[in-house]
Amino acid sequence: MRGAVADDMEVLLAQLAPVPGDPMANAARVADALAAQPAADLAVLPELFLSGYDLAHAPGLALDPQDPALELIGRAAGQAGTAALVGFAERGAGGAVHNSLAAIDDDGRLVSVYRKVQLFGGEREVFEAGDRLLVIPLAGHQVAPLLCFDMEFPEPARALAEAGADLLVTAAANMAPYFDDHELAARARALDNRLPHVYVNRVGVEAGLEFVGGSRVIGPDGAVQVQCPRDAASLTMATVGFPEPGDEAVEYLAQVPQRLPVHHIHAVPGGSR
């Protein structure tokens, strides 16, 4: 909750490359990572980690939230006492497919599923966009999940912060040449809202795309606190702090500008206005 000092959180940044097209193998990798790092309060996996990021095959790899792959992760999360956010292609109602993030709490329960709102490029031809943002209670915190392109817009993160989130988490499948875009946007979303931000991206090459890693933890001041490699898989533990509000002059959520009308000023012939 904003304005209060919350306990620090130990977060596992699972910057991995999935096995393309094999959700159960990828779920087993998540389970192994959770078992290997039982001190983690929260583990974050990349976007579409269970299926891989091959849009041509995503519909055929879409899973129900009760799929055995997600149940395996739930059991592992409960055994480790670690909450998890895991990207997957979700089979929705009426044949729809969503780019989704499963939110599993530290007792192994599937708490909710977030569906990506801002679809990128060819994703629009494959997935149906989500229609809501979520603040999800995980590991004792109010966690605001975002998926990749969602983070590149200020509005979703601001809405989540105003709704009471105390931690922004972005799971990404960001590829070349967009490394710098996400490095800047990830820091900006933390600074915009004076919230810590956990950003986890994948690595590897799939479907002709090179994924650029760079997972990181950013403090509420926009400073990078933990930085993962750009081109190598890693399982990185990081402590996320939840400090008291700092300088009131830059506590932005207390000073959100009102929406003002925009007036177009037209030039007058002769140069005067």
**Which residues carry out catalysis?**
47, 116, 148
Q: Which of 37, 31, 39 is nearest to 10 (CA)?
A: 39
The length of the chain in residues reads 273
Give dist(CA 191, CA 5) in Å, integer.
Answer: 18
Angle at which helices 68-80 and 23-36 cross, to 10°: 0
Enter the tokens of residue 257: 């500008």
Q: Who contacts 259 (Cβ-Cβ below 8 Å, separation ≥6)?
A: none
Give dist(CA 248, CA 261) in Å, integer.
Answer: 27
- Give the residue carrying structure tokens 């650029």: 212
